[in-house]
Amino acid sequence: MTLYTGETTLAPSSQLFATINLDAIAHNVGVMQRFAGDTQLMAVVKADAYGHGAIEVSKTALDAGAVELGCATFEEAMQLRNAGIVDAPILFWLWGQATPIAEALRANLMIAIATEWQLDAVLNAVKETGISACVTVKLDTGMGRSGFTSQQWHHMLPRFCEAEASGMVHVRGLMAHFSSADELGNPITDRQADNLRAAIDQGRRAGLHLDHNHHANTAALLTHGGMGFELARPGLGIYGISPMPELGDIDLVPAFTWSASVALTKPFSAGAGVSYNHSWHAPVDTVTAIVPCGYADGINRRLTNKLEVTINGKRFPEVGRVSMDQIVVNLGPDGGGVSPGDEAFLFGDGSRGELTALDWANLIGTIPYEVLCWVGGRTTRRYEHRPVASTNVTSEDTAPAGPAGLRKLSTVDDTLQLGRELAAQLRAGDVVVLDGALGVGKTVLARGIAQGLGVQGRVTSPTFVIARSHRPGTPGDVGMVHVDAYRLLDGIQDDPRAGDVLLGELDALDLDTELTDSVVVVEWGGGVVERLVERCLVVTLVRSPGSDQRHATWRWVDDPYRELP
């Protein structure tokens, strides 16, 4: 059997466009850098930059401050080199036994190694070319996918040390992927980060420098900053979409607009059926428009009778089955002022009233990553430089804290103010979990909550008093109990009995107030307190490395705590 390759791209259409705003890409890189602090950015441009076009996005991201590029495959990385991106470090991490590693070395690409045979393949390519390899070791810190486990890393470490000592490879750093960084308050994120830190320490003790390590994706950057690693790998955020919409406005601007020219308009009689199987019938005499874009181009058929298309600033419903080449839009009895040639916006940044990629994802229960990667077929891609309006929200002009959100905290007063605003949501019996590293401001936030509740007594670090009761400032109002779960649970946080221990210890303290009559504010309680209550407010504080600036994220958690593997 003879195998051959051929052209697989559909001929581009003169009626269907993906317009990529490179100014939005540059803006979003800046937003990600603000969250990363001193941590540098590797812009993830795999899958043709999530459908945005890897070459142009890569150039823009580098100009905007990203220092490296991340690709999944060798072919993606070579596309960038062949396009003239010759100086920037480019890493690829998903490759097989047929991948030409010798060619990768000649192109000065960085290679991720996730299994022992890959190290052997790299060493063989080094012998073949005489070119030393720059590699990153991929670990499985809890994702349950590719990469060395901690035991395998321990076993392989001598081989990597030997390879580096011989000059055949330079082990640049370690990398891993988070499984649940988009789940606020999920303790597995911190555990995975700790696992990577432990592996880095182990490697450095063995003699490896490991000075370019990375774990954080967009979600981790938004909630944990750069986490103290040298690099972070934002993907979706660079394209202007938050993986955690519950955080509210974080100043990202979607860069992708998908639109088509209206092909024709047509009057339709009441009762007439539309498209295959007549899944929609006109309830009254109406006018329809044909938009030349279908499932061959990336409109999922599950969006049938769910989409809305924006034309001339008005939204119109898509009706009837999504076809291979076209959709039908109901313009209403008066035709909506729509004419052939008008631009119909499928999704974009929302500034024209159109749906966004996130809206599309929500319509059928998927994720915006998938929506962006759908777009193709006959779509013609074009680029623009359209200035974006930055919200750049600060605490001075932020609306009062809602049930979920994110806020930059530049000063102690900012943290106190957030605490006072959160207090307005609290009632007797509510539990607040304050999570974050030592010295990040948990006690200051607790002090702000106390001010908002109007309780008596000064709030101090619970390190010195395990739990302290603060009586209501006014009879009949709610009190507050401030708890240090770290000391109460020292060494048993991961024990299934930890929750029972915490309750027992609090009961043994003989506090001055009943817990059900107070708001309970728990420091260091993440991953334990959620098991005890049906509902709690989880607040995570992150400090950017080398900076006094913090970011706080918060949300109410209503589901029972899900046990982790």
C-alpha 448/C-alpha 159 separation (Å) is 53
- Tokens of residue 429, six digits: 């019996």
Catalytic residue (one of 50, 276, 314, 383): 276
Are 550 and 415 in contact by the 8 Å Cβ rule? The answer is yes
Is 227 known as a binding-site position?
no
Active site residue 46: yes
Within 10 A of 411 (CB to CB), how many other CB atoms are there?
12
Structure tokens, 262: 């209206």
Residue 398 near residue 552, CB atoms below 8 Å: no
- DSSP track, 282-299: -SSSEEEEEES--TTTT-
- How far apart are the C-alpha atoms of 305 and 73, rounded to whole Å? 37
Q: Which residue has the tokens 């509902």?
A: 535
Helix axis angle, 54-63 relative to 74-82, nearest 10°?
A: 70
Strand blocks (E) in 353-428: 380-384, 404-409
* Residue of 4, 46, 59, 314 marked active site: 46
Strand locations in 30-168 (E): 40-44, 68-71, 90-92, 110-113, 133-138
Distance separating alpha carbons of residues 152 and 147, to the nearest angstrom: 9
Q: Which helix (H) or strand (E) holds 129?
A: helix 116-129
Q: Where are the alpha helices (DSSP H) in 365-480?
A: 368-374, 412-423, 442-453
> Which tokens sit at 219?
């979600």
Hey, which residues does 382 pair with through a beta bridge? 19
Of 139, 119, 133, which is closest to residue 201 (Cα–Cα)?
139
Yes or no: say if 38 and 65 are a contact pair by the CB < 8 Å rule.
no
Q: Buried b vs exposed e over 285-305: b needs ≥16 C-beta within 10 Å?
A: ebbbbbbbbbbebbbbeebbe
Does the annotation list 382 as a binding residue?
no
* 500 Cβ contact list (under 8 Å, min separation 6): none
CA atoms within 13 A on the CB side of 331: 24
Q: Any catalytic annotation for residue 4?
A: no
Give 257's strand partners. 19
CB atoms < 10 A from the CB of 283, how many? 9
Quick check: 262 and 293 in contact, CB under 8 A? Answer: no
Q: d(Cα 380, Cα 13) in Å, to the nearest integer?
A: 6
Q: Which CA distances in Å does 51 have to 18, 38, 55, 307, 374? A: 9, 29, 11, 21, 8
User: Of 445, 479, 480, 486, nearest to 464 (Cα)?
Assistant: 486
Which residues in 128-255 belong to E strands, given as ranges?
133-138, 169-175, 231-232
- Residues that constitute the known binding site for substrate: 145, 324
- Residues that constitute the known binding site: 145, 324
Active site residues: 46, 276
